[in-house]
Amino acid sequence: MTHVIVGYPSLQATEDLVLLMDKIGVDFIELQIPFSDPLADGPAIMKACEESLRNGTKVKDAFDLAKKLSGKIKTPLLFMAYFNTVFNYGIEKFCTYSKKAGIVGLIVPDFPIEEELSDHFNEILEKHGLLNIKVLSPASTEERIKLNAKVGTGFIYCTARQGITGTDKGFDQNVIAYLKTVKKHFDIPIALGFGVSKREHIKQMEGFADIAVVGSAFLDIIKTFSDFGDENFTSSSKNFAFSAKAENVNSSSRYLKEVEKYLLQLKS
């Protein structure tokens, strides 16, 4: 699964990136609606959100873009948004518009399950036929994991560690133990993200997680080649997304070139 920020580096660039990812054949595409205070995100995503907001990106732009893309691609589209955005827009209205735009599910990492009685968020998602993709961290207690297992649908999004996304350290054995605990309580696929950027990470996931989520590392390529029309940007983005699909994810240019050669051999 790949991750893009709506409106970064521009709405047109976001559209082109999603079309490219669909052509390559990623399993899901996560469209993050930019927010001014994305607490769970690291520097790359925070800066991308800031730039998108400076460009004037609105929630309506995300709906319009999703509707346009859903008519062109086969890859399922997900919205990632912070609950403040959903709540201010109106939960019922947000879910109604998401469904009409072709979105298949929502990832709202900061919605506390305890608020369900007052906000009825999970109930409204179910009413509109949207996947309710819950987010867990290594700090989640087994009791909290059980509560989320009762309402989560589609897949469960597990962070590789507690804290912000997009840092460079690898996984430790505590992460493996945590994934085993999650697996005991869910009968849907497990996605693992927050720092997944290397082939070693994917190898460590085998047998414990089903979906690799690539976000911050992909945004680093966009930052490096900020002119979307530049041939190098398109080539590098394509190579990185191909490497993610091939389960050979690494942000170094040398490794990307090696992946490119490998994929060209497979296609020939």
More confident call, 256 vs 157? 157
CATH number of the domain where residue 145 is located: 3.20.20.70
- C-alpha 84/C-alpha 151 separation (Å) is 20
Which of 207-211, 228-232, 237-241 reaches the highest mean pLDDT? 207-211
Span 143-157, pLDDT tens digits? 999 999 999 999 999
Q: What is the pLDDT of residue 241?
A: 54
- The mean-pLDDT minimum among 32-36, 118-122, 247-251 falls in 247-251
Q: Kindly indicate the confidence band of residue 261, based on its pLDDT and cuts at 50, 70 and 90.
A: very low
DSSP states of 86-97: HHHH-HHHHHHH
CB 8 within 8 A of CB 47: no
Average pLDDT, the chain: 79
Domain of residue 90 covers 2-267
Over residues 236-246, the mean pLDDT reads 52
Known active-site residue 258:
no
Q: Kindly indicate the confidence band of residue 87, based on its pLDDT and cuts at 50, 70 and 90.
A: very high
- The mean-pLDDT minimum among 8-12, 94-98, 176-180, 228-232 falls in 228-232
Over residues 179-193, the mean pLDDT reads 92
Q: What is the pLDDT of residue 265?
A: 32
Residue 194: C-alpha distances to residues 130, 168, 262 (Å): 23, 10, 27
Q: What is the pLDDT of residue 135?
A: 93
More confident call, 126 vs 162? 126
Which of 127-136, 192-201, 254-263 reaches the highest mean pLDDT? 127-136
More confident call, 43 vs 140? 140
Q: What's the domain count of the chain?
A: 1
For the whole model, what pTM was predicted? 0.81
CB 136 within 8 A of CB 145: yes
Residue 79: C-alpha distances to residues 143, 168, 229, 232 (Å): 27, 25, 26, 28
- Count of alpha carbons within 13 angstroms of residue 21, beta-carbon side: 26
Active-site residue, from 15, 16, 27, 30: 30
Q: What is the pLDDT of residue 153?
A: 95
- C-alpha 53/C-alpha 191 separation (Å) is 28
- For residue 106, what are its two tokens? 């929502």
Q: Which of 46-60 are b and which e, b meaning 16 or more Cβ less than 10 Å from the residue's Cβ? A: bebbbbbbeeebebe
Known active-site residue 41:
yes
More confident call, 19 vs 184? 184
Q: What is the dihedral of CA 152, 17, 9, 226, to 10 degrees?
A: 130
pLDDT value at 3 more than 50: yes
Active-site residue, from 22, 41, 51, 61: 41
Q: What is the pLDDT of residue 262?
A: 26
